[in-house]
């Protein structure tokens, strides 16, 4: 219930009970005040900033409810709980129509921009409680969770076709042009290696084995199509409105949706979540958009790409180069600087070395400057002119396909954020948020790959989306933990990691405070097949000043993702070197090497292995 300006609210008195029950009761009472009042001000009677805010609302003739934290018995606990809810430790702490506006400065900024007046006008007249812009993994997770919590939700999703005309269905990058088709094509390449190994294990076959690109892509696209359908069905079952249109903010709380025919509709919502993800970057050189493809196009390419140049050294570049070579194609990777920027560089070089030993050519310190079409066809022929980054040297070569994997750009510049004042990093389009994924505009949140400084990984977006919905509409205060997120690069020899790279660990903790344990190993499955001994590699980085806690986990070998996932859980629990020593390994497996690590880098001792 709202009260006239100047009236002081009192928090109902409750028995303390057990600590967790008392905290939950306090949270519910605060949420009741926030939900039950048009304007709710948590204040302190002597605070000049609080007085300014009260005077502002009084001058606007707006009724508000005020809780003076210095005049209630549990004011300190109230302020602590508000800090958990809002990530704001100070007063005044202001909510308008259930939206957290912030403190004194942000309230006056909202007043000057017109946002405060807009918030004061809003009530239950919105079309939706939540509109999610972007139907990728994170957006869908957030939308479905909000619907489960009883909210009216819409998802807007529209795929702008690539320069080559490729588009896809609901589900975002991971499902359609990312993790799923990538892993399946990686598996296709591994099966080719397994066929080669099988002769050593006694399998005899005389027929020449060859790979059929069209068969593979058709099967993969059929599977992806079933996932697209499943996502639509799941939204329908949870009563989430799905609109296949491009969303653009036109004013506060209002978005315009334009479908593929150009027809426009407008919708309003109390809250918005931006989950628009990223798209591949182009080079800005002659012929790149006309003749090159990206990961947007590769996985549904209707013909075998033939001799391929992959431009870039990101995990996407190396993964694609790896499985294309594994399928028997002639592949070259053109690298401007280093491999796998942001990853442990020792591991990155080992990844590259293995690929090079298995037929992938690397052209280092070069960048393309022109792409010219020599012949049309499926595939055709393209001439690539490249120049050295270190001197005047130039090279020229002909390829059937040029695949660009030089980074990705956030899809934030054409969705009208400037119309409502949401700030982005102008350099990369990323959206800065606080630790509750809230942007500088209180009712707008963002998750997934558009976030600045957060891991660009599907499971991260899903987790963040679910937890955001629970905080906004449920009873949870849990925030997404972006620390020690595991990942795997699905190159021919897989690289899994969790925690810090060796370079980052040295930067943070200093080399003298670290101990690095490492070893080469030979998977048992590789022995009979006569595959590379002493190529697979395991490394952990331990903080000596914290009980040898494992702060970096790295493995290069088969099934690296499966191994890394388990150890990531252990790292969440505070894994130490002693706990690894106390763990009995499963024999014979690759993962067991982490239970028997003895050799440190600082010792300089040999780490080659003679057997399993």
pLDDT in tens, 563-606: 999 999 999 999 999 999 999 999 999 999 999 999 999 999 99
What distances in angstroms separate CA 500 from CA 109, 344, 489, 493, 551, one per listed residue?
A: 39, 8, 15, 20, 6
Q: Give the mean pLDDT of 192-207.
A: 94
CA distance linking residue 447 with residue 468, whole number of Å: 9
CB atoms within 10 A of CB 1: 9
The two tokens of residue 295 are 């990961």
What's the pLDDT score for residue 4?
Answer: 40
Tell me: is residue 319 an annotated ligand-binding position: yes
pTM given for the model: 0.85
Q: Is the pLDDT of residue 138 over 50?
A: yes
pLDDT band per the 50, 70, 90 thresholds, residue 124: low
| Burial letters 152-181, b for 16+ CB under 10 A, else e | bbbbbbbbeebbeebebbbbbbbbbbbbbb
What's the pLDDT score for residue 3?
Answer: 39
Tell me: is residue 449 an annotated ligand-binding position: yes
User: Do residues 310 and 330 touch, judged by C-beta distance below 8 A?
Assistant: no
Tell me: is residue 322 an annotated ligand-binding position: no
CA 354 to chain centre: 27
Q: Is the pLDDT of residue 15 over 80?
A: no
Tell me: is residue 313 an annotated ligand-binding position: yes
β-pairing, 278-280 vs 408-410, is: antiparallel
CB atoms within 10 A of CB 260: 13
User: Do residues 45 and 71 touch, judged by C-beta distance below 8 A?
Assistant: yes
Q: Is the pLDDT of residue 8 over 70?
A: no
Q: What radius of gyration, in Å, describes the C-alpha atoms of the chain? A: 28
Domain boundaries, the chain: 20-120, 128-280+409-473, 282-407, 493-603
The two tokens of residue 68 are 């003076």
Give 416-479 as a DSSP string.
Answer: -HHHHT----TTT--B---TTSB-SSTTEEE-GGGBTTS---HHHHHHHHHHHHHHHHSS----
| β partners of residue 554 | 497, 539
For 457-510, how does the pLDDT look when each residue is reduced to its tens digit (9 = 90+)? 999 999 999 999 999 998 889 999 999 999 999 999 999 999 999 999 999 999
The two tokens of residue 207 are 């027929």
For 272-292, how does the pLDDT look when each residue is reduced to its tens digit (9 = 90+)? 999 999 999 999 999 999 999
Name the residues annotated as catalytic.
Answer: 587
User: Do residues 49 and 108 touch, judged by C-beta distance below 8 A?
Assistant: no
Structural fold of domain 493-603: Enolase-like; domain 1 (3.30.390)
CATH for 282-407 is 3.50.50.60
What's the pLDDT score for residue 13?
Answer: 46
What's the pLDDT score for residue 480?
Answer: 97
Q: Residue 157: which of 225, 226, 228, 220 has the closest Cα?
A: 228
CA distance linking residue 275 with residue 154, whole number of Å: 13
What's the pLDDT score for residue 1?
Answer: 34
Q: Do 128-280+409-473 and 20-120 have the same topology in CATH?
A: no
Mean pLDDT of the chain: 94
CB atoms within 10 A of CB 603: 11
Backbone angles phi, psi at 554, to 5 degrees: -145, 135
Is it true that the peptide bond before 92 is cis, omega within 30 degrees of 0? Answer: yes
What's the pLDDT score for residue 483?
Answer: 95
CA distance linking residue 486 with residue 497, whole number of Å: 6
The two tokens of residue 457 are 């990984």
CA 457 to chain centre: 3
CATH for 20-120 is 3.40.30.10
Q: Give long-range contacts, CB 8 A cutoff, 24+ apart: 599-607.
A: 599/517, 599/518, 599/519, 600/515, 600/516, 600/517, 600/518, 601/516, 601/517, 601/518, 602/515, 602/516, 607/518, 607/519, 607/520
For 303-323, how does the pLDDT look when each residue is reduced to its tens digit (9 = 90+)? 999 999 999 999 999 999 999
For 146-191, how does the pLDDT look when each residue is reduced to its tens digit (9 = 90+)? 999 999 999 999 999 999 999 999 999 999 999 999 999 999 999 9
Tell me: is residue 312 an annotated ligand-binding position: yes
Q: Is the pLDDT of residue 117 over 90?
A: no
Tell me: is residue 183 an annotated ligand-binding position: yes
Give the lowest-confidence range in 80-84, 294-298, 356-360.
80-84
Tell me: is residue 247 an annotated ligand-binding position: yes
CA distance linking residue 472 with residue 68, whole number of Å: 25
Q: Give the mean pLDDT of 115-125.
A: 77
What's the pLDDT score for residue 115?
Answer: 87
Q: Is 5 helix (H, G, I), strand (E, B) or coil?
A: coil
pLDDT band per the 50, 70, 90 thresholds, residue 18: low
CATH architecture of 128-280+409-473: 3-Layer(bba) Sandwich (3.50)
Torsion of CA 605, 608, 610, 612, to 10 degrees: 110
Indicate left, alpha or beta for 507 from its phi (over 0: left) and psi (-120 to 50: alpha).
Answer: alpha
């Amino acid at each position: 219930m709202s009260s006239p300006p100047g009236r002081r609210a009192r928090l109902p008195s409750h028995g303390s009970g057990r600590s967790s029950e008392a905290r939950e009761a306090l949270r519910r009472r605060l949420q009741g005040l926030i939900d039950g009042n048009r304007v709710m001000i948590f204040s302190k009677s002597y605070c000049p900033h609080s007085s300014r805010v009260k005077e502002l609302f009084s001058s606007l003739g707006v009724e508000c409810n005020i809780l003076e934290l210095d005049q209630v018995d549990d004011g300190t606990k109230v302020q602590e709980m508000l800090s958990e809810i809002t990530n704001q430790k100070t007063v005044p702490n202001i909510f308008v129509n259930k939206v957290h506006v912030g403190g004194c400065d942000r309230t006056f900024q909202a007043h000057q921009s017109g946002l405060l007046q807009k918030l004061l006008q809003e009530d239950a007249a919105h079309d939706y409680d939540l509109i999610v812009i972007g139907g990728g993994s994170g957006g869908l997770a957030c939308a479905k969770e909000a619907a489960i919590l009883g909210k009216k939700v819409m998802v807007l999703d529209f795929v702008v076709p690539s320069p080559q005309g490729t588009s896809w269905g609901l589900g975002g990058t991971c499902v359609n042009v990312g993790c799923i088709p990538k892993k399946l094509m990686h598996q296709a390449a591994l099966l080719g290696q397994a066929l080669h190994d099988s002769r050593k294990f006694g399998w005899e076959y005389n027929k020449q084995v060859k790979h059929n690109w069209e068969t593979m892509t058709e099967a993969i696209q059929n599977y992806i199509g079933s996932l697209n359908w499943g996502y639509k069905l799941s939204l329908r079952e949870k009563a989430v409105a799905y609109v296949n249109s491009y969303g653009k903010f036109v004013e506060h709380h209002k978005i315009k949706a334009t479908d593929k025919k150009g027809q426009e509709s407008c919708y309003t919502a109390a809250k918005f979540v931006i989950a628009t993800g990223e798209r591949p970057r182009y080079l800005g050189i002659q012929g790149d958009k006309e003749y090159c493809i990206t990961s947007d196009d590769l996985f549904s390419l209707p013909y075998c790409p033939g001799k391929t140049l992959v431009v870039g050294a990101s995990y996407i570049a190396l993964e694609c180069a790896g499985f294309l070579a594994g399928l028997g194609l002639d592949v070259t990777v053109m690298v401007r600087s280093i491999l796998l920027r942001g990853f442990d560089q020792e591991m990155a070089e080992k990844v590259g070395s293995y690929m090079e030993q298995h037929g992938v050519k690397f052209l280092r310190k070069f960048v393309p400057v022109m792409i010219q079409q020599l012949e049309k066809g499926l595939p055709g022929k393209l001439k690539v002119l490249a120049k050295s980054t270190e001197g005047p040297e130039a090279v020229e070569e002909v390829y059937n396909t040029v695949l660009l994997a030089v980074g990705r750009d956030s899809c934030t510049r054409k969705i009208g954020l400037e119309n409502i004042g949401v700030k982005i990093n102008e350099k990369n389009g990323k959206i800065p948020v606080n630790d509750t994924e809230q942007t500088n505009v209180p009712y707008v949140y963002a998750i997934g790959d558009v976030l600045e400084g957060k891991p660009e990984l599907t499971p991260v977006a899903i987790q963040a989306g679910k937890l955001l919905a629970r905080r906004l509409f449920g009873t949870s205060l849990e925030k997404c933990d972006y620390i020690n997120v595991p990942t795997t690069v699905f190159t021919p020899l897989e690289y899994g990691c969790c925690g810090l790279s060796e370079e980052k660990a040295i930067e943070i903790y200093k080399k003298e405070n670290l101990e690095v344990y490492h070893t080469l190993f030979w998977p048992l499955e590789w022995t009979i097949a006569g595959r590379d001994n002493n190529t697979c590699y395991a490394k952990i980085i331990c903080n000596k000043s914290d009980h040898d806690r494992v702060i970096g986990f790295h493995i290069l070998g088969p099934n690296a993702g499966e191994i890394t996932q388990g150890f990531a859980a252990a790292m969440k629990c505070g894994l130490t070197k002693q706990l690894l020593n106390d763990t009995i390994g499963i024999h014979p497996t690759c993962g067991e090497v982490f239970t028997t690590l003895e050799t440190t880098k600082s010792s300089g001792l040999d780490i080659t292995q003679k057997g399993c």
